């Protein structure tokens, strides 16, 4: 097997549900204001999935668009990885539901759990699988129905999240260097700062657990903020060094879309505000889908073009973080 095969992104797609929830709408849900939300987060609105839409439905919509963009059929996919913290069910995997919906009958499928960092982690795993020759073509999806796992009475968290999905098709070959080296890290000692504590084997489903709202996402916002800025900035510096490039070589930086103030703080540290991509105003934080949606929008909108070097970076619960560099080949 050739361990040095180039791996390229040959198609991207994204999908957000129809229903839009604005900051103004949230004023009638919790004690908050459009001004507070916008000034603290840069968010103006987010999309909320319909009751009958699960993560696999959102992910499949994004996947179909990515396949059209890649000009390949679903049966050509060898591997599907879905990054999600809001799966359809504990098991089977959301990836298996996506497989069935899009007709990718030749793929093997699994989910990956790295919270908001999931899409970049999944891309990294799929890239390795392709680079080592195990598979030719992989579909990587970040898909979230965050609205199910949010406490709509907690103003500290409910304003921050939205639903959506993004996808990318990765394939062996292509022009340029494709997906280059990545820099990844995790710190499990800080897991408690951002978690959904109830419903798993640690704190199983019970009336008491639900009464205590332990099945909803909990977050220490200020701590998360600080770590997100430091870890994403460090990961970007590290990944540029690993790949022998400088910030001047990079056409576009696409960070996890959690908060415009986090993004601005990273821009300032790295001195790259003019090339920092953001769409957090439209979608809020869609967790593992955020980077995937941003990448698709940047590609379709012409922000990134063939031959450009693009740096992606993520941060999420765990904590988990990472960055990679892509020489865009489409
Ligand atoms: N509307 C109005 N007031 C709110 C509010 C809301 N939606 N949410 C919190 N507040 C209040 C708080 O109760 C607090 O009031 P107090 O001072 O009387 O106690 C005040 O606003 C300030 O809260 P604080 O937590 O200091 O605000 P902040 O400037 O840190 O902003 C976040 C809060 C959540 C926006 C910010 O910490 C953040 O973005 N953190 C990172 C979150 C994140 O990105 N998570 C996902 C990572 S993958």
List, as one string, the DSSP characters of 218-274. EE-HHHHHHHHHHHHHHHHHHHHHHTT--GGG-SEEEE--S-HHHHHHHHHHHT-GG
CB-count burial class (<10 Å; 0-12, 13-18, 19+) for 317: buried
State both tokens at 232.
């994403």
103 ligand 1 Cβ < 6 A: no
State both tokens at 198.
């109830």
Angle, to 10 degrees, between the axis of helix 55-70 and the axis of helix 94-102?
A: 50
Share of the chain above pLDDT 90, in %: 98
Write the pLDDT tens digit of every residue in 298-317: 999 999 999 999 999 999 99
Catalytic residues: 116, 256, 285
313 ligand 1 Cβ < 6 A: no
Under the phi-then-psi rule, with left for phi > 0, alpha for psi from -120 to 50, and beta for the rest, what region is 49? Answer: beta
Write the pLDDT tens digit of every residue in 212-240: 999 999 999 999 999 999 999 999 999 99
Alpha carbon of 31 to ligand 1 centroid (Å): 12
pLDDT of residue 4 exceeding 90:
no
pLDDT of residue 1 exceeding 60:
no
Q: What is the mean pLDDT of residues 187-200?
A: 98
Angle, to 10 degrees, between the axis of helix 34-41 and the axis of helix 260-270?
A: 30
3-class DSSP state for residue 73?
coil
285 ligand 1 Cβ < 6 A: yes
Alpha carbon of 272 to ligand 1 centroid (Å): 26
3-class DSSP state for residue 327?
strand
242 Cβ contact list (under 8 Å, min separation 6): 181, 183
Alpha carbon of 33 to ligand 1 centroid (Å): 12
Alpha-helical runs (H) found in 134-219: 155-158, 207-211
E strands, the chain, in order: 7-15, 19-22, 45-48, 79-83, 108-112, 137-144, 164-172, 178-186, 194-195, 218-219, 252-255, 309-316, 320-327
CB 217 within 8 A of CB 285: no
Write the pLDDT tens digit of every residue in 67-118: 999 999 999 999 999 999 999 999 999 999 999 999 999 999 999 999 999 9
For ligand 1, atom 42: residue with the closest CA: 221
315 ligand 1 Cβ < 6 A: yes
153 ligand 1 Cβ < 6 A: no
Q: Which long-range contacts (CB under 8 A, 24 or more apart) does 31-40 make?
A: 31/155, 32/155, 32/159, 37/159, 40/259, 40/261
pLDDT of residue 262 exceeding 80:
yes
| Burial readout 187-210 (b: 16 or more C-beta within 10 A, e: otherwise) | eeebeebbbbbbbeeeeeeeeeee
C-alpha separations of 209 from 8, 85, 88, 205, 219 in Å: 45, 19, 21, 6, 17
For ligand 1, atom 38: residue with the closest CA: 221
């Amino acid at each position: 097997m050739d361990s040095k095969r180039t791996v390229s992104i040959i198609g991207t797609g994204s999908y957000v549900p129809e229903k839009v929830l604005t900051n103004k709408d949230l004023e009638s849900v919790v004690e908050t204001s459009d001004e507070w939300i916008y000034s603290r987060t840069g968010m103006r609105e987010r999309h909320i999935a319909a009751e009958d839409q699960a993560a696999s439905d959102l992910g499949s919509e994004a996947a179909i668009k990515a396949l059209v963009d890649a000009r390949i059929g679903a049966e050509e996919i060898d591997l599907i990885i879905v990054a999600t913290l809001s799966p359809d069910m504990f098991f089977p995997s959301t990836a298996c539901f996506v497989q069935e919906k899009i007709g990718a009958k030749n793929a093997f499928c699994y989910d990956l759990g790295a919270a908001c960092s999931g899409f970049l982690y999944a891309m990294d795993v799929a890239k390795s699988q392709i680079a080592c020759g195990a598979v030719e073509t992989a579909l990587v999806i970040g898909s979230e129905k965050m609205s199910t796992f949010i406490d709509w009475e907690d103003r500290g968290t409910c304003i921050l999240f939205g639903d959506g999905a993004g996808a990318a098709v990765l394939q062996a070959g292509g022009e340029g260097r494709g997906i280059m080296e990545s820099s990844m890290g995790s710190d499990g000692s800080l897991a408690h700062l951002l978690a959904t504590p109830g419903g798993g084997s640690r704190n199983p489903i019970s009336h008491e657990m639900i009464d205590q709202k332990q099945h909803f996402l909990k977050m220490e916002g200020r701590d998360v903020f600080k770590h997100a800025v430091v870890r994403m900035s460090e990961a970007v510096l590290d990944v540029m060094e690993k790949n022998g490039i400088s910030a001047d070589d990079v056409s576009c930086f696409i960070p996890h879309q959690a908060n415009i103030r986090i993004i601005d703080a990273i821009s300032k540290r790295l001195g790259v505000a003019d090339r920092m991509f953001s769409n957090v105003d439209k979608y809020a934080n869609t967790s593992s889908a955020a980077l995937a949606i941003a990448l698709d929008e940047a590609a379709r909108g012409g922000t990134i073009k063939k031959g450009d070097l693009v740096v992606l970076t993520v941060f999420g619960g765990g904590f988990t973080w990472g960055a990679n560099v892509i020489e865009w080949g489409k």
